[in-house]
Structure 1
Amino acid sequence: MPLQPGDRVALLVPGSRTYVDVVLSLLAEGVFPIPLDPRLTAYERERILANLEPAAVITDPAELAPLRATSRGIPLGRPMHVTSGTTGTPKGVFSGLLTRDDAAALVAEERDLWGFASTDVNLVLSPLYHSAPLRFAMGTLLAGGRITGFDADGNQPAFDPARITATIEEERPTTMFCVPAHLQRLFVHWDEHGTPDLSCFRLVAHAGAACPEPVKRRLIETFPAGSTWEFYGSTEGQFTACRSEDWLERPGTVGRARPGRTLHLDGDGQIWCTVPPYARFSYFNDPAKTEAAWRETEAGPAFSVGDLGRLDADGFLWLDGRREDLVITGGVNVYPAEVESTLAGHPGVKDVAVYGVADDRWGQRVVASYVGSATAEELDAWARERLAPPKRPKEYRAIAELPRTLTGKIRRRELAG
């Protein structure tokens, strides 16, 4: 079927060089790709796509080639990624068709922030159906650079530290986006086999999940000075960017508002962000959810995804977690991110997640599941020295591995269930 501007095309195929080319080709025609995990079950696919009404559903990589254009025009919108679905049915985040001026401004914003150039080689680590790796790959190609991290046939293999190390040595990438789990696995591999020459990197950006402080500090020490960044964003939009040098001065911060944006907190500590017209969005076919996500402010329309945080006098933001993760115990609000950060400082903790479980006395009680050698008694003593009584976990559960999404977010509901 011929595709028209505004149509949507679901991509349920593995990542590849062709995949990125097709995404850019479709967007240049005003057609919106819907990148999805090809491993979704039939039930999950139907549940997600029923509300998105795609004009085509691509499940065979061979179907990609006819959609690839010979020339690369400017994207007239953003891919329609879906929310992670941790709180109900995933929703499509829709930018709408942009004017030529707004489309150019969208590309320019990413280029100016990250410095994309024709000399860049972007190392792709994460699956391309996720928004951040796809955005970095697209920005690189639009600037005339190239992408790497694929096999000889141009397909994206599973993450493997040995393969990534070899690619760094052979391809000399200049940029990469990663999540903390990637860094942890790379550092383990490099401890055993040696760290490659990383002087080729000018930009290493991470996001997707909280980065443990030891991992963050090693990242800064291992890669070239000035090359490492963190950013805070969501499927819906981008909030902040943070140079590691700023993080060292303010440990734990996720930075200040990106250019063209402003941040403010409401009375409950919920984060709201104003964005330029080209960065606005709606939830496709869900006006009620769209209305709830936006509010008018003195600085213009602002959106929130329900995250909670703190701002200092200089505009630097710290995250306290998501409203839905908030634990209310005995009428006191406890933010899991704060407790996790404290417990992660114990030398016997490698990974930790804090959440609430139903409790007849307290309404909810604070529970910590952790990976590491520490005992519950040691962690209780650690918490007593550093946390007020309501924030101290009432229970510690040692487990082999925390359940996480592919982008590194903790599945707290699985732990609490």
Structure 2
Amino acid sequence: MSRTVSTTLGEGDRVALLVPGSLDYLDAVLGLLAAGVVPIPLDPRLTAYERERILTPLSPALVVTSAAELDRVRAAYPDTRGLPRARPVHCTSGTTGTPKGVWSGLLSAEDARALVAEERSLWSFVDTDVNLVLSPLHHSAPLRFAMGTALAGGRVVVPGPFDPALVTAAIEAERPTSMFCVPTHLQRLFAHWDEVGVPDLSSFRLVAHAGAPCPDAVKRRLVELFPAGSTWEFYGSTEGQFTACRSEEWLERPGTVGRARPGRTLSVDPDGTIWCTVPRFARFSYFGDPDKTAATWRGDAFTVGDLGRLDEDGYLHLDGRREDLVISGGVNVYPLEVEQVLQGHPGVDDVAVYGVPDEQWGQRVCAAYVGTASAAELDAFVRERLAPPKRPKTWHRLEELPRTLTGKVLRSDLPR
């Protein structure tokens, strides 16, 4: 599947990164992209089963699994300030249960410059910025903000796996100007600050959150604690970005995720499906899957199947994510992918995976199943095959799953 770092890596080749996020990791991503070699950032906690399933269709030329290998990549591709000639390939399984690589292809110099300029214009990246990284860098949003900062000549701080005390210490010591977070991060930080006191947040000019619906009380406290005008929400997906919204706009229209980002337009079908037209440099395909790609695009507009409505001023309100999507701690968990793994257990005859509200994580992944397996057996089974965010935290053994007359599982009935 892979070969060593050398000049045999060509433009458009893909390099899978299965190591923890760090400043070296960021440098490797930037160096590869400047050379037209495309990184595939992945969770290093993926099991061997998951790695094989994701990487086989993407055919990476190199798979990096150690710090030593990452160092060799950095040495071979040292240009960390060059123009990125592609977008990293982030993977999303959508509702199919099969992970797909979101592929931009190699960008022309004109499109590459436009991509960097768009991000810099929206988020005002400058060389005095200090970006504090809270989420793992294999996720698309934190990597985008870190890359935008670095390309503008700013500094990036990576404290390590999220811990409220470490983040608080980094805020006090590093005086960051920006950070991306998910609502779970904010909830845990606020709880910690209730115990130890709120640090000086005056250095922040940008705090952006996304990844999951933000509880009203959390949103209002965010606005209260951070400098006026500094807090934003945006709505997007692995495939592309739809909106951006200052918190002050949200206060006037509670629940909105904002209007279309500059250079984009939004439309909503009669059934609520959201479509977004994007510039040429923001187009994508699903690597190796022309049918899925064709179903996603309508002219210059794409959809990820989310539902919503536009008000008279063009502000988007989400009516629901894809009906089977679970967002736990800001991580998208697709039930079908988990179900396909569980169906491989000999003690499972039928299974449905779903989410329930959780104060800490937003949603908790649960599984209802028919069969002879015990919860302990299923716990052990998924630990070998699924990364931690995808593993069900609660198991319910049933005599049968609730279904419609046509055989579709009634997921909305499962929490009851």
TM (normalized to structure 1)?
A: 0.78
Q: SS of 1:82's equivalent?
A: strand
Matched, 1:238 2:241: yes
Q: Deviations over 1:132-172 (max 9, x none)?
A: 0000000000000010133xxxxxx2111011001100100
CA contact (8 A) 1:207 1:232 kept: yes
| Distance in 2 separating the partners of 1:171 and 1:293 | 42
| Distance in 1 separating the partners of 2:141 and 2:69 | 24
Q: SS of 1:200's equivalent?
A: coil
Matched, 1:191 2:194: yes
Matched, 1:131 2:140: yes
Report the equivalent of 2:83. 74
Matched, 1:251 2:260: no
Residues 234-313 of structure 1 mapped to structure 2, 5 A cutoff: 234-296=237-299, 301-313=300-312
Name which of 101, 120, 125 aligns with 2:110.
101
Report the equivalent of 1:360. none
Q: SS of 2:185's equivalent?
A: helix
Q: SS of 2:11's equivalent?
A: coil
Name which of 29, 37, 57 aligns with 1:31.
37
Cα deviation for residue 115 of structure 1 reads 0.3
| Distance in 1 separating the partners of 2:284 and 2:358 | 38
| Distance in 2 separating the partners of 1:278 and 1:236 | 12
Cα deviation for residue 322 of structure 1 reads 2.7
1:289 is aligned with what amino acid? K
1:70 is aligned with what amino acid? P
Cα deviation for residue 73 of structure 1 reads 0.7
Q: SS of 1:23's equivalent?
A: helix
TM (normalized to structure 2)?
A: 0.78
Cα deviation for residue 88 of structure 1 reads 0.7
| Distance in 1 separating the partners of 2:389 and 2:231 | 19
1:164 is aligned with what amino acid? V
CA contact (8 A) 1:83 1:235 kept: yes
Name which of 130, 141, 149 aligns with 2:150.
141
| Distance in 2 separating the partners of 1:273 and 1:37 | 28
Q: SS of 2:58's equivalent?
A: coil
Residues 85-100 of structure 1 mapped to structure 2, 5 A cutoff: 87-100=96-109
Mark the CA change 1:305 to 1:412 in structure 2 (over 3 Å): closer, same or farther. Answer: farther
Report the equivalent of 2:408. none
CA contact (8 A) 1:293 1:305 kept: yes
Cα deviation for residue 87 of structure 1 reads 3.9
Q: Deviations over 1:177-212 (max 9, x none)?
A: 000000000000000000000000000000000000
User: RCO greater where, 1 or 2, for CA within 8 Å and sep 6 or more?
Assistant: 2
Cα deviation for residue 403 of structure 1 reads 3.2
CA contact (8 A) 2:101 2:287 kept: yes
Residues 41-52 of structure 1 mapped to structure 2, 5 A cutoff: 41-52=47-58
| Distance in 2 separating the partners of 1:73 and 1:197 | 35
CA contact (8 A) 1:8 1:31 kept: yes
Q: SS of 1:26's equivalent?
A: helix
| Distance in 2 separating the partners of 1:407 and 1:217 | 30
Residues 147-226 of structure 1 mapped to structure 2, 5 A cutoff: 147-150=156-159, 157-226=160-229
CA contact (8 A) 1:403 1:414 kept: no
Cα deviation for residue 400 of structure 1 reads 12
Cα deviation for residue 275 of structure 1 reads 0.2
Q: Deviations over 1:2-34 (max 9, x none)?
A: 210010000011111010001010011111100
Structure 1 stretches (4+) deviating beyond 3 angstroms? 84-87, 323-326, 367-372, 403-417
| Distance in 2 separating the partners of 1:76 and 1:84 | 25
2:317 is aligned with what amino acid? W
CA contact (8 A) 1:306 1:324 kept: no
| Distance in 1 separating the partners of 2:137 and 2:390 | 17
Mark the CA change 1:135 to 1:257 in structure 2 (over 3 Å): closer, same or farther. Answer: same
Matched, 1:115 2:124: yes
CA contact (8 A) 1:33 1:80 kept: yes
CA contact (8 A) 1:205 1:230 kept: yes
Q: SS of 1:51's equivalent?
A: helix
| Distance in 2 separating the partners of 1:178 and 1:12 | 22
Percent sequence identity over aligned pairs: 69
Q: SS of 1:239's equivalent?
A: strand
Cα deviation for residue 65 of structure 1 reads 1.6
| Distance in 2 separating the partners of 1:60 and 1:277 | 36
Q: SS of 1:107's equivalent?
A: helix
CA contact (8 A) 1:52 1:92 kept: yes
2:157 is aligned with what amino acid? T
| Distance in 1 separating the partners of 2:134 and 2:106 | 29
1:17 is aligned with what amino acid? L
Q: Unaligned 5+ residue runs, structure 1? A: 151-156, 327-335, 338-354, 356-366, 373-398
Q: Unaligned 5+ residue runs, structure 2? A: 1-5, 328-334, 336-353, 367-385, 397-410
| Distance in 2 separating the partners of 1:20 and 1:176 | 15
2:321 is aligned with what amino acid? R
